[in-house]
Structure 1
Amino acid sequence: MIDLAAAQQVLKTTFGYDEFRPGQKAVIEQVLAGENTLAIMPTGGGKSLCYQIPALLFQGLTVVVSPLISLMKDQVDALNDNGIAATFINSSLDFQEINERLQELRAGDYTLLYVAPERLDSDYFIQALGRLPIQLLAIDEAHCISQWGHDFRPSYLALSTAIEQLPTHPQVLALTATATEQVAADICGRLAINPQHEVNTGFARDNLDLTVVKDQDTDRYILDYLKVNHGEAGIIYASTRKEVMRLTSLLQKHDIKATPYHAGLDDAVRRQNQEDFLYDRVDVMVATNAFGMGIDKSNVRFVIHAQVPGTLEAYYQEAGRAGRDGLPSEAILIFRPVDIQLQHFFIDESEMDTEHRHLAYQKLQVMTRYANTQGCLQQFILKYFGEKSAPCGRCSNCTDQRESQDITTAAQQVLSCVVRLHSRFGKGVVAQVLTGANNQRVRESNLNTLSTYGLMSGQRQKSVVELIDFLTASGYLQSVGGQYPTLTVSASGVAVLKGTTTVHRKTAQKVQQTVPENSALFEQLRTLRRQLAEEQGVPPFVIFSDRTLHSMCDLMPEDDAAFLTVKGVGASKLEKYGETFMATIRAAAHAESATSTDEETD
């Protein structure tokens, strides 16, 4: 049996870290002891080291099942850049290339092999794997195997059969960032993992600040946020292809380096856009949920959901793509009730059976409660995943100091209009009546004769619609129906009309800078990293993470021994990049010293 000291040595000499992150030691200990294991660790928690370190210690091959081609390439690039022999087999290779790699694997040329789950549906491929000395099978994004998970994939169901067919009967390590207790139990059952061998480090992300923005102009908020956080990398999620393209066009018109990603784009365009984002050529990726799973870009500073996703699991997994390197980052949910209606429509039109459709409705209700809770946002999420916690003290609810304005009169005007319309119309018509619109529908329905017609003629229809959304989110109005919902006044809304309840609305959420200003040296090192990445054809974070660059700025290493003390620098990185980066650091130190001498002379 391999002891943990050997793993500790690999951690330091190969990966450049002195200590394991929470949970890593426990997982690696169980893997080295030959136990099937389930690791539930948040995005950025260091899951990949849990199989990469054992792979370097085992004599046999480690096979990693990964759902996206982009993740395979990024991780293989990063491992190869670190002097570790790794390869992948997926649909980007032709038949001859696959056979060549299988021959190299049989010859023992590689330590790690990454494959897509769909490969395990092939009897031919299973037979080919059967001729390899597979010791460990690591299953990334393991929640995809559960029909109760938010991202169930039928291709994952072949895994349990494939494991049985492999003559080496490899041990299994399942890894995921998001799994409810039900999903975790399902994973263990399908992969023959003893529930006692589940390692769950908790779902809290101490470097990720959660924010909910309501009742505001989405476009204005996003533009203001990107202006304040200019130059930082981020992802903006939208629910539809149309909205992705609209937002991308909006950002590009305001000279923001943004690119779109959705399943409707040509494959070559989609690959190029993803590469531009990974290589730091553009700052912002605007995408549907088709983008992101397995994206290994570590320096994403913010994730904005411009539209509400369907489940809290999906939201937290996508939000978790910010701050994988451990630096301060932000996840922002822009909440509008109309987006809940859109998700409701998606569920209505889906091919789910009755049981799963009912579950989807329940999960959507959880998203609504999350967006409208007055309590700690992180505490809400952790409770959903079965974890107790104290308030985080960092989220937008914990730190909210905005003033609250009394809008009872305006609320009564809206509610009264809904009553006058006999709850037969949606918010668009309500806003038109209140603002005194003179269109054909208003005239033909004689809505211009109502006592509430033109009560808010001094306001824009969009502002009135946002007020209606606020009243709906706050429970004073109810939206009834599927694709074309109508408004009705709730019991609490009746209390407002009678004057027994007042309505208060907080002032607009102000944007904030996600991370402090970078130093001049950091920008120099970042530029150097980008140049090297372009030369080598790999994403910049493969060379060094932002966190490692910041560590260089703090330590200012000028010799090999000092450079090895930087977190994320191992022997291979020192040999490949040490002198190049230290030359820039020495030049900066010299310039700073010269400036100090000049100041003393003056």
Structure 2
Amino acid sequence: MDERIKLLKKYFGYDDFREGQEELTGSILNGTDTLGIMPTGAGKSICFQIPALLLEGITLVISPLISLMKDQVSTLNQAGIHAAFLNSSLTAGQYRLALSYAKEGRYKIIYVAPERLITEEFLEFALNTRISMVSVDEAHCVSQWGQDFRPSYLKIVEFLDRLPVRPVLSAFTATATREVIEDIIRILRLKAPTVKVTGFDRKNLYFAVETPKDKFEALKNYMQDYKDQSGIIYCLTRKVVEEVCDRLNREGVPVTRYHAGLSDAERKTNQEDFIYDRKPIMVATNAFGMGIDKSNVRFVIHYNMPKNIESYYQEAGRAGRDGESAFCILLYSGQDVITNQFFIENNNDNEELDPETLKAVKERDRERLKKMTFYCFTNECLRDYILRYFGEYGTNYCGNCSNCLTQFEESDVTDISMKLIGCVSQSRQRYGMGVIVDTVHGNKTAKLRQYHMDENEFYGSLAKEAVYRLRQVLNYLVLEDYLFLTNEEYSILKLTDKSWEVLEGKKEIIMKLAKEREISKKEKVKKSGLKKAAEKDARKTGNGKQNYEEADEVLFELLRKLRSDIAKEEKIPPYIVFSDKTLLELCLHMPLSEEDMLSISGIGRFKYDKYGERFMEAIKEYKEKAETD
């Protein structure tokens, strides 16, 4: 048997590699620089952890966040692999002790923050230690075109240049456009690397965009159904985090909060409350989440629209890491665009960049915001829109997003389009979308009078049309290049060659508009986890018992309680004991022997020795009770 498969089974409990893992681990073990682009939950970590166990020396994993390192190291130690992290959360004494243990060869894998790499103490260790591999996690952070550029990542190359022998270099990320991939290869100086893109699709995630009049009311309705599940609610600002968290608390939702304005102590406490399921729902800014490998997150709701598709997909991807069904809802409003525009123009994160580069970065950020906004207005498949952004092309129908589950009807919007484009032309292409919509709708505002837009030929020409419909059509015209929205600080609508086809009556504009939404889509999302898998197993095995789901639901909760008790005893997050997916398989197959237990996905030898007997005893007691009942 392949030595890699033996280790995969022993430490992680899996019988086979997932897509891309075999090629990537093989490339590293052959001494070839390697770049893996794999979606969240696809098993990137295993791609460098398995080779690390087989290589003779130490593997350094460069990671951007303390929380990410702690989570990864805790998971490895629980699986029986000796690992450590080196970052600012350690005292000077703890740091020196960890380094001394590393020198003695106690650890095969060491996680380190990029800022630590070229410090005198760490360099002294690195120069006198056999380092077989350096693996760069969240590799998109090295690119100024990435959604999360970190200048500290540029220290990686300086560190590598100082080593007496260059180790094999591997890099991994979940979200990267072609431009970012090329940047990673160039900046890290990967030598003729193996590049593997396994695809960006997360089929288990349901995507939806909603534009509710009252966002909190919409959120509250979701919480009535899902407050016993683990989830993340993302907000754009600290103020909104505070407001949403306070209001949900008053509604009795078990929620906590996370943003950069809190003290280190409170952020740490709140994060642990979320990870340990004491407060299963987290309300946070985008400061939260990178590296949080919490497998049982069942939903991610964006209370505000993020500034780009990369950020949205990375944050939404924190749902359903166990492969089970989860849902991702974006609650959109026009104010979200304005807030993001303000952030882009006042961004101080990239102060180290020269003025010309900073200007280019802002231009790129505006373009990304535009594409994020289009996502909120498209009537096409939402999943396909995201995948096309990353260079993948599908069928434009996934059957698992709000647009694919909505009935549309084609509507002739030529007259509306002519008046909107005519208004842009008459105003000499000087204004943005808000002014144009207000003008054709005939709004009586001081701004319109100041701009003399109440004298525009098209003022009030579409007064009978709903404002939301006018915005829909205007966004469609921009999306289809009948108008162009500039990337300036204040975006302006401009005419295109296609504009004149409409104005001259040569082009008919047919647009898909929602007719009605299927009420059943919410139920589709809700039927996840145990129930969905139980149905699938029942169909496969021919089990026709009507109480099959109900009975296993009881066992599932019993095993969750046992997992929680063990987690409290060992002071670790419950999902590190076993994932929800592993509990699910235990419910479906009810193993009562060592052989059967080891056949369950996610249970390796180490975890069986630690927990196997207790879970088998719980299953045995449940079965005996069920038989007597």
TM range (shorter): 0.7 to 0.9
Per the alignment, residue 379 of structure 1 pairs with: 384
Query: How far apart are residue 204 of structure 1 and its match?
Result: 1.1
**Aligned partner (choices 55, 63, 79) of residue 76 of structure 2:** 79
What is the match of residue 227 of structure 2?
A: 230
- The answer to which of 506-515 and 386-395 deviates more is 506-515
CA distance in 2: counterparts of 1:328 and 1:199, whole angstroms: 26
Distance change >3 Å, CA 295–CA 143, structure 1 → 2 = same
Residues 211, 397 of structure 1: 8 Å contact kept: yes
2:117 match: 120
Are residue 104 (structure 1) and residue 101 (structure 2) matched? yes
Name the SS for the 1:212 alignment partner.
strand
| Aligned equivalent of 1:202 | 199
Quick one: which amino acid aligns to residue 327 of structure 1?
E
What is the total number of aligned residue pairs between the two structures? Answer: 581
Matched with 2:617 is: 583
Q: From the superposition, tell whether residues 402 and 214 of structure 1 become closer, same or farther in structure 2 (CA, over 3 Å).
A: farther
Distance 1:466 1:127 in 2: 63
Question: CA–CA distance in 2 between the matches of 1:42 and 1:90?
Answer: 26
AA aligned opposite 1:36:
D
Q: Deviations over 1:406-450 (max 9, x none)?
A: 999xx99x99xx99xx9999979x99xx9999x9999xxxxxxxx
* Structure 1 position 365 matched with structure 2 position 370: yes
Q: CA RMSD in A?
A: 3.9
Instruction: Name the amino acid aligned to 1:551.
Output: E
In structure 2, distance between residues paired with 1:276 and 1:295: 13
Post-superposition shift, 1:152? 0.7
Out of 133, 136, 140, the residue aligned to residue 136 of structure 1 is 133
C-alpha change, 1:475 and 1:55, in structure 2 (3 Å) is: same
Q: Match of 1:400?
A: 405
Query: Does residue 1:522 correspond to 2:519, yes or no?
Result: no
Q: Which residue of 294, 299, 303 corresponds with 2:296?
A: 299
Q: Residue 143 of structure 1 aligns to which amino acid in structure 2?
A: H
Partner of 2:241: 244
Asked if 1:593 is matched to 2:590, the reply is no
Structure 1 position 188 matched with structure 2 position 185: yes
- The corresponding residue for 2:452 is none
Gaps of 5+ in 1: 443-450, 457-462, 596-602
**Identity in percent:** 39
Alignment correspondent of 2:598: 564
Give 1:103 deviation, angstroms: 0.8
Give the aligned partner of residue 17 of structure 2. Answer: 20
Quickly say closer, same or farther: Cα 1:357–1:427, change in 2 above 3 A.
closer
2:7 to 7, 10, 18: 10
**Are residues 435 and 536 of structure 1, via their aligned partners in 2, closer, same or farther at CA, if it must alter by over 3 Å?**
farther
State how 1:315-464 maps to structure 2 within 5 Å: 315-351=312-348, 353-396=358-401, 399-402=404-407
**CA-CA distance at 1:468 after TM superposition:** 6.8
Deviation (angstroms), 1:399: 2.4
Q: CA deviation at 1:50?
A: 0.8
SS at 1:210's partner residue?
strand
Taking the aligned partners of 1:40 and 1:299, their CA distance within structure 2 comes to 23
* TM-score, structure 2 as length reference: 0.81
The one of 531, 534, 548 aligned to 2:582: 548
One-letter identity of the residue aligned with 2:314: Q
Residue deviations 1:377-431 (CA, integer Å, cap 9, x gap): 22222222122323352342552334769999xx99x99xx99xx9999979x99
Distance, in Å, in 2 between the alignment partners of 1:187 and 1:246 is 39
Aligned to 1:506: 514
Deviates more, 1:252-261 or 1:544-553: 252-261
Distance 1:468 1:539, change over 3 A: farther
- The letter of the residue matching 1:366 is K
Gaps of 5+ in 2: 349-356, 449-458, 531-552
Amino acid aligned to 1:512? K
Q: Is the 8 A contact 1:216 1:508 kept in 2?
A: no
For 2:6, give the aligned amino acid.
Q
Match of 1:48 among 41, 45, 48: 45
- SS of residue in 1 equivalent to 2:35: strand
Q: How many Å separate the matches in 1 of 2:492 and 2:176?
A: 36
Give distance in 2, aligned partners of 1:301 and 1:528. 20
Which AA in structure 2 matches 1:560? E
The amino acid of 1:545's aligned partner reads S
Amino acid at match of 2:514: K
**Counterparts in 2 of 1:503 and 1:386: CA distance versus 1, 3 Å:** closer
Residues 19-77 of structure 1, C-alpha deviation per residue, up to 9 Å, x if partnerless?
Answer: 10000000000011111101111100000111111122122111111111111111111
Whole-angstrom CA distance in 1 between matches of 2:367 and 2:581:
39
Q: Give the equivalent residue in structure 2 for 1:262.
A: 259
Secondary structure (helix, strand or coil) at the match of 1:345 reads helix
Kindly tell me: are residues 24 and 77 of structure 1, through their superposed partners in 2, closer, same or farther at Cα, counting changes over 3 Å? Answer: same
State the one-letter code of the partner of 2:340.
Q
The letter of the residue matching 1:185 is: E
3-state SS of 1:199 partner: strand
| TM-score normalised by L of structure 1 | 0.85
1-structure distance, mates of 2:242, 2:337: 20
Choose from 132, 154, 165 the match for 1:157: 154
Change in 2 beyond 3 A, CA 1:220/1:191: same
Q: Partners of 1:436 and 1:345 in 2: how far apart?
A: 25
C-alpha change, 1:26 and 1:465, in structure 2 (3 Å) is same
Taking structure 1 as reference, are residues 533 and 286 closer, same or farther at Cα in structure 2, changes over 3 Å only? Answer: same
Q: For residues 168 and 443 of structure 2, what CA distance do their matches in structure 1 show?
A: 70
Cross-structure match for 2:271: 274
